[in-house]
């Protein structure tokens, strides 16, 4: 049971910290992630590939969009279960 | 077997990104001298040959931009600062000089020595003080994310020390495959499809059935359908969700908002804690994949060689091969369970008698030993890595004695 002594308030992060236009070049991990996603995409049938040139991706938001498209092709179940969850 | 271990049905691992132990938890030494954090006198020299002390000035965002380099050659400099010799103990004095190279700005290079005060990290510091904090949990490799995360999944990186794409050898199956093949349940939960998983090449593209998403994790906790073993990945990017809302990166990778990661960690804890049956039968490990180029003062120790050798071309350091015989930089690691005595400190290399050195191979090692028992097809590193579930005791702590996070 919560008591005043054991409840810890966790503030919400500031919305101002959101920046989908942050340059991809500033994040070594996301740069590599795009490469890995591209490798996985190259094994998909052409009709399921995104048509996006990973070399054209400049921002975190663009990287996320590319990653979403390929992940959907690899794991559509993830998106379907998410829609079901929202609907219920 | 302790009552806590007897009750254990689920192990959950949350792996965050790129923060060192001293940076996140170093301040806690002031509260508890058993925690091997910072005295305030630790320092590195800068390019002006001036000592730069650690300072409690870390902010949630805006200081570690650009992302501090933490590929193998940079970590080599951070650890040895040109003083490397085979078998030498790392000097831990090259962090400032290494970060200077990215901006050529002396003042900016000092920020690599900044650490958080506990009031800024209420979730991590509360969990560390309430459950078990490890003084000696190290990244598996003095290098970047992908190869370090591989140790958490496979108990080895199959000879990789970089971020490059690689395909794993079937000699050592992932912990998920081991579990499923032996009639157990396991799942990797990624945040959403725009964040995805770092295991896209080796697991997602061939075995999507092993994966779920963060909302599904929350549902599984609520419904009591959590697998025996779960691995959770945070959100790796700022992006718009399917509903158009802003999804803030929660991985704490520089320069993402550290507070968003705090919020995410609390949400994972709450999801488990709010289901009483799950709470008493689950151990949650919160750990960071590597230090992200940020200062820590404890020299990484030598370790059991992994049976692989990365040649100088792979390490990127002229003339230096790496036999996977030394660990990476120390990272925060906290084990949460109501069966852990309050304020447990797990001693590390500082305790020459009883101290234990953990690394990410301890994760598949512990899970395999607990759920599968004897299992020989494991890497030498995983076989040598200590397990951590012995920290569960016979006494379950009452609700009044464990934290509750009120998410604002």
Go through B44-64 and write b for each residue having 16 or more CB atoms within 10 A of its CB, e for each that does not. Answer: bebeeeeebebeeebebbeeb
Residue A15 falls inside a structural domain: no
| Whole-number pLDDT of residue B240 | 94
Nearest to A37 among B196, B211, B408 (CB): B196
Instruction: Give percent of chain B with pLDDT exceeding 90.
Output: 97
| Whole-number pLDDT of residue A2 | 60
Determine the distance in angstroms separating the CA of A16 from the nearest CA of chain B, rounded to an integer: 10
| Whole-number pLDDT of residue B340 | 98
B255 with A77: Cβ contact below 8 A = no
Mean pLDDT, residues B120-145: 98
Go through B289-308 and write b for each residue having 16 or more CB atoms within 10 A of its CB, e for each that does not. Answer: bbbbbbbbbbbbbebbebeb
B408 with A30: Cβ contact below 8 A = no
Mean pLDDT, residues B214-237: 97
Residue A9 falls inside a structural domain: no
Find the farthest-apart pair of alpha carbons in chain A and give their distance in angstroms, rounded: 59
Q: Which structure tokens are listed for B186?
A: 């396991």
Residue A47 falls inside a structural domain: yes
Residue A14 falls inside a structural domain: no
pLDDT at A87 over 80: no
Residue A38 falls inside a structural domain: yes
For domain B3-20+119-401, the CATH class is: alpha beta
DSSP result, B86-143? TTPPP----HHHHHHHHH--HHHHGGGGB---TTT-HHHHHHHHHSEEETTBB-SSSS
Domains of chain B by residue range? 3-20+119-401
A8 with B405: Cβ contact below 8 A = yes
Give A25-77 pLDDT, tens digit per residue. Answer: 888 899 999 999 999 999 999 999 999 999 999 999 999 999 999 999 999 98
Residue A7 falls inside a structural domain: no
Number of domains in chain A: 1
Residue A79 falls inside a structural domain: yes
A6 with B405: Cβ contact below 8 A = no
**Contact criterion met (CB below 8 Å) for A2 and A25:** no
User: Nearest chain A Cα to B64, which residue?
Assistant: A26
Q: Specify the 3-state DSSP secondary structure of A22.
A: coil
Mean pLDDT, residues B352-372: 98
Q: Whole domain around residue A59: which residue ranges?
A: 21-87
CA B389, B350, B322, B253 torsion-angle sign: positive
Partner B contacted by A43 (CB < 8 A) = yes
pLDDT confidence band for A86 (50 / 70 / 90): low
User: Nearest chain A Cα to B250, which residue?
Assistant: A13
Give ipTM to 2 decimals: 0.94
Task: List chain A residues with CB under 8 Å of B131.
Answer: none
């Amino acid at each position: 049971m919560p008591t005043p002594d054991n409840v810890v308030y966790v503030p919400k992060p500031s919305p101002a910290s959101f920046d989908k236009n942050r340059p991809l070049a500033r994040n070594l991990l996301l740069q590599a992630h795009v490469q890995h996603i591209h490798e996985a995409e190259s094994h998909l049938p052409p009709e399921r590939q995104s048509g996006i040139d990973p070399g054209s991706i400049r921002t975190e938001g663009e990287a996320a969009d590319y990653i979403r498209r390929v992940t959907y092709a690899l794991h559509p179940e993830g998106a379907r279960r998410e829609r079901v969850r929202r609907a219920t | 077997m302790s009552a806590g271990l007897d009750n254990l049905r689920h192990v959950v691992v949350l792996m965050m990104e790129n923060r060192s132990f001293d940076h996140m938890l170093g301040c806690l030494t002031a509260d508890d001298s058993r925690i091997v954090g910072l005295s305030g006198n630790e320092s590195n020299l800068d390019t002006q040959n001036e000592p730069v002390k650690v300072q409690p000035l870390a902010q949630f965002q805006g200081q570690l931009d650009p992302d501090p380099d933490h590929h193998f050659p940079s970590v080599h400099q951070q650890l040895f600062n040109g003083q490397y010799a085979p078998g030498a103990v790392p000097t831990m004095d090259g962090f400032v000089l290494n970060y200077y190279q990215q901006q050529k700005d002396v003042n900016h290079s000092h920020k690599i020595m900044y650490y958080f005060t506990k009031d800024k990290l209420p979730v991590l510091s509360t969990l560390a003080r309430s459950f078990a904090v490890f003084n000696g949990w190290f990244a598996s490799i003095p290098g970047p994310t992908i190869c370090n995360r591989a140790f958490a999944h496979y108990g080895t990186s199959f000879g990789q020390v970089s971020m490059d794409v690689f395909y794993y050898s079937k000699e050592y199956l992932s912990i998920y495959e081991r579990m499923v093949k032996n009639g157990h349940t396991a799942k990797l939960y990624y945040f959403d499809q725009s964040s995805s998983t770092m295991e896209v090449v080796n697991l997602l593209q061939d075995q999507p059935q092993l994966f779920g998403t963060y909302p599904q994790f929350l549902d599984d906790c609520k419904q009591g359908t959590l697998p025996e073993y779960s691995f959770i990945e945070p959100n790796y990017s700022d992006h718009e969700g399917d509903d158009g809302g802003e999804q803030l990166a929660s991985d704490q990778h520089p320069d993402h908002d550290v507070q968003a990661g705090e919020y995410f960690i609390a949400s994972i804890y709450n999801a488990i804690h709010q289901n009483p049956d799950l709470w008493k039968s689950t151990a949650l490990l919160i750990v960071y994949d590597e230090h992200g180029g940020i200062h820590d003062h404890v020299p990484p120790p030598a370790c059991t060689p992994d049976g692989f050798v990365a040649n100088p071309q792979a390490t990127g350091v002229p003339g230096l091969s790496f036999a996977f015989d030394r660990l990476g930089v120390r990272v925060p690691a906290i084990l949460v369970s109501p069966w852990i005595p309050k304020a447990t400190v797990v001693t590390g290399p500082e305790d020459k008698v009883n101290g234990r050195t953990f690394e990410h191979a301890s994760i598949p090692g512990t899970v395999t030993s607990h759920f599968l028992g004897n299992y020989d097809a494991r890497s030498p590193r995983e076989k040598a890595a200590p397990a951590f579930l012995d920290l569960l005791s016979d006494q379950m702590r009452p609700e009044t004695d464990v934290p509750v996070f009120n998410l604002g």
